Amino acid sequence: MFKLFLGGILRLFKLPIMKKIKIHSTKREELIEITKEVSNHVPETGEGVCMLFTQHTTCGLTINENADPDVKQDILLFLKNTIPQYYDGFKHFEHNSDAHIKSSLMGSSVTIPYKNGKLLLGTWQGIYLCEFDGARERKVIVEIL
Protein backbone atom coordinates (compact mmCIF):
# COMPACT_ATOMS: atom_id res chain seq x y z
CA MET A 1 0.00 0.00 0.00
CA PHE A 2 2.79 2.39 1.01
CA LYS A 3 4.73 1.28 -2.09
CA LEU A 4 1.71 2.11 -4.28
CA PHE A 5 1.36 5.52 -2.64
CA LEU A 6 5.08 6.18 -3.06
CA GLY A 7 4.84 5.10 -6.72
CA GLY A 8 2.05 7.63 -7.17
CA ILE A 9 4.10 10.41 -5.62
CA LEU A 10 7.13 9.60 -7.75
CA ARG A 11 5.02 9.43 -10.88
CA LEU A 12 3.74 12.91 -10.14
CA PHE A 13 7.18 14.31 -10.58
CA LYS A 14 7.92 12.39 -13.72
CA LEU A 15 7.76 14.52 -16.83
CA PRO A 16 6.04 13.01 -19.86
CA ILE A 17 8.81 11.41 -21.90
CA MET A 18 9.19 12.07 -25.63
CA LYS A 19 11.65 10.14 -27.81
CA LYS A 20 12.13 9.68 -31.53
CA ILE A 21 12.85 6.46 -33.43
CA LYS A 22 14.27 6.45 -36.96
CA ILE A 23 13.49 3.56 -39.32
CA HIS A 24 14.97 2.90 -42.74
CA SER A 25 12.68 1.00 -45.06
CA THR A 26 14.21 -0.83 -48.01
CA LYS A 27 11.17 -1.65 -50.19
CA ARG A 28 8.07 0.15 -51.47
CA GLU A 29 5.84 -1.92 -49.18
CA GLU A 30 6.91 -3.73 -46.05
CA LEU A 31 6.02 -4.22 -42.39
CA ILE A 32 9.02 -3.44 -40.17
CA GLU A 33 8.87 -4.61 -36.57
CA ILE A 34 9.87 -1.91 -34.05
CA THR A 35 8.82 -3.59 -30.78
CA LYS A 36 12.38 -3.69 -29.41
CA GLU A 37 13.14 -0.05 -30.27
CA VAL A 38 9.93 1.07 -28.54
CA SER A 39 10.47 -1.18 -25.50
CA ASN A 40 13.82 0.52 -24.86
CA HIS A 41 12.00 3.73 -23.95
CA VAL A 42 9.50 2.26 -21.45
CA PRO A 43 10.23 3.51 -17.89
CA GLU A 44 11.34 0.84 -15.40
CA THR A 45 8.79 1.75 -12.76
CA GLY A 46 5.18 2.85 -12.74
CA GLU A 47 2.46 2.21 -15.25
CA GLY A 48 0.68 4.13 -17.97
CA VAL A 49 0.42 4.37 -21.72
CA CYS A 50 2.99 4.42 -24.51
CA MET A 51 1.75 6.32 -27.55
CA LEU A 52 3.48 6.06 -30.94
CA PHE A 53 2.93 8.57 -33.72
CA THR A 54 4.34 8.57 -37.24
CA GLN A 55 4.89 11.96 -38.87
CA HIS A 56 4.19 10.76 -42.42
CA THR A 57 1.18 10.32 -44.70
CA THR A 58 2.24 7.28 -46.73
CA CYS A 59 3.08 4.90 -43.91
CA GLY A 60 1.20 3.75 -40.83
CA LEU A 61 1.52 1.94 -37.52
CA THR A 62 -0.17 -1.30 -36.51
CA ILE A 63 0.04 -4.15 -34.03
CA ASN A 64 -0.12 -7.69 -35.35
CA GLU A 65 1.40 -11.16 -35.10
CA ASN A 66 5.19 -11.42 -34.86
CA ALA A 67 5.51 -15.22 -34.80
CA ASP A 68 4.90 -16.46 -38.38
CA PRO A 69 6.32 -13.94 -40.92
CA ASP A 70 3.72 -15.16 -43.44
CA VAL A 71 1.14 -13.03 -41.61
CA LYS A 72 3.00 -9.84 -42.60
CA GLN A 73 3.18 -11.01 -46.22
CA ASP A 74 -0.52 -11.92 -46.32
CA ILE A 75 -1.50 -8.49 -44.95
CA LEU A 76 0.68 -6.72 -47.54
CA LEU A 77 -0.56 -8.95 -50.38
CA PHE A 78 -4.20 -8.28 -49.57
CA LEU A 79 -3.71 -4.51 -49.27
CA LYS A 80 -1.69 -4.36 -52.50
CA ASN A 81 -4.32 -6.33 -54.47
CA THR A 82 -7.26 -4.42 -53.00
CA ILE A 83 -5.80 -0.90 -53.20
CA PRO A 84 -3.75 -0.78 -56.42
CA GLN A 85 -1.20 1.97 -57.07
CA TYR A 86 -2.79 2.77 -60.44
CA TYR A 87 -6.56 3.02 -60.14
CA ASP A 88 -9.14 4.51 -62.48
CA GLY A 89 -9.88 8.04 -61.31
CA PHE A 90 -6.88 8.68 -59.05
CA LYS A 91 -5.62 12.21 -59.74
CA HIS A 92 -2.78 12.81 -57.26
CA PHE A 93 0.31 13.66 -59.32
CA GLU A 94 2.72 11.67 -57.16
CA HIS A 95 0.99 8.39 -58.08
CA ASN A 96 1.01 7.17 -54.50
CA SER A 97 -2.65 7.64 -53.52
CA ASP A 98 -2.76 3.92 -52.68
CA ALA A 99 -0.14 4.59 -49.98
CA HIS A 100 -2.14 7.52 -48.57
CA ILE A 101 -5.28 5.33 -48.36
CA LYS A 102 -3.42 2.44 -46.68
CA SER A 103 -1.88 4.95 -44.27
CA SER A 104 -5.31 6.18 -43.14
CA LEU A 105 -6.66 2.61 -42.88
CA MET A 106 -3.80 1.47 -40.63
CA GLY A 107 -3.66 4.79 -38.76
CA SER A 108 -0.84 7.12 -37.77
CA SER A 109 -0.70 6.10 -34.11
CA VAL A 110 -0.91 3.12 -31.78
CA THR A 111 -1.33 3.15 -28.01
CA ILE A 112 -0.05 0.40 -25.72
CA PRO A 113 -0.30 0.16 -21.91
CA TYR A 114 2.93 -0.52 -19.96
CA LYS A 115 3.79 -1.52 -16.40
CA ASN A 116 7.11 -1.71 -14.57
CA GLY A 117 9.32 -1.50 -17.64
CA LYS A 118 7.29 -3.75 -19.91
CA LEU A 119 4.83 -3.05 -22.72
CA LEU A 120 1.68 -5.06 -21.97
CA LEU A 121 1.60 -6.69 -25.40
CA GLY A 122 -0.08 -10.07 -25.85
CA THR A 123 2.01 -13.19 -26.50
CA TRP A 124 1.84 -12.87 -30.28
CA GLN A 125 1.75 -9.08 -30.64
CA GLY A 126 4.49 -7.02 -32.23
CA ILE A 127 4.49 -3.32 -33.20
CA TYR A 128 4.98 -2.57 -36.90
CA LEU A 129 5.77 0.43 -39.02
CA CYS A 130 3.77 -0.15 -42.22
CA GLU A 131 5.76 1.23 -45.14
CA PHE A 132 3.59 1.82 -48.21
CA ASP A 133 5.79 4.16 -50.28
CA GLY A 134 9.45 3.33 -49.54
CA ALA A 135 12.31 3.01 -49.52
CA ARG A 136 12.66 5.99 -47.12
CA GLU A 137 13.72 7.13 -43.69
CA ARG A 138 10.70 7.28 -41.35
CA LYS A 139 10.32 8.90 -37.95
CA VAL A 140 8.15 7.66 -35.09
CA ILE A 141 7.57 9.75 -31.96
CA VAL A 142 7.31 7.75 -28.72
CA GLU A 143 5.38 9.52 -25.97
CA ILE A 144 5.19 7.98 -22.50
CA LEU A 145 2.23 9.11 -20.38
Tell me if 110 contacts a second copy by CB under 8 A: yes
Binding range to a second copy, per CB under 8 A, among 13-21, 22-30, 33-41? 13-21
Distances from the Cα of 92 to the Cαs of 49, 76, 80, 89, 96, in angstroms?
37, 22, 18, 9, 7
Residues 107 and 60 sit within 8 Å (Cβ to Cβ): yes
CA–CA distance from 61 to each of 9, 21, 51, 58, 134 (Å)? 33, 13, 11, 11, 14
Using CB under 8 A, pick the residue from 35, 48, 85, 136 that binds a second copy. 48
Residue 117: CB minimum distance to a second copy, A? 15
Phi (first) and psi of residue 70, to 5 degrees: -60, -25
Residue 106 found at the interface with a second copy (CB under 8 A): yes
Binding residues (CB under 8 A) for a second copy: these are 4, 7-9, 11-16, 18, 47-49, 51, 53-57, 62-65, 68, 70-71, 73-75, 77-79, 81-83, 87, 89-94, 97, 100-101, 103-113, 115, 120-125, 139, 141, 143, 145
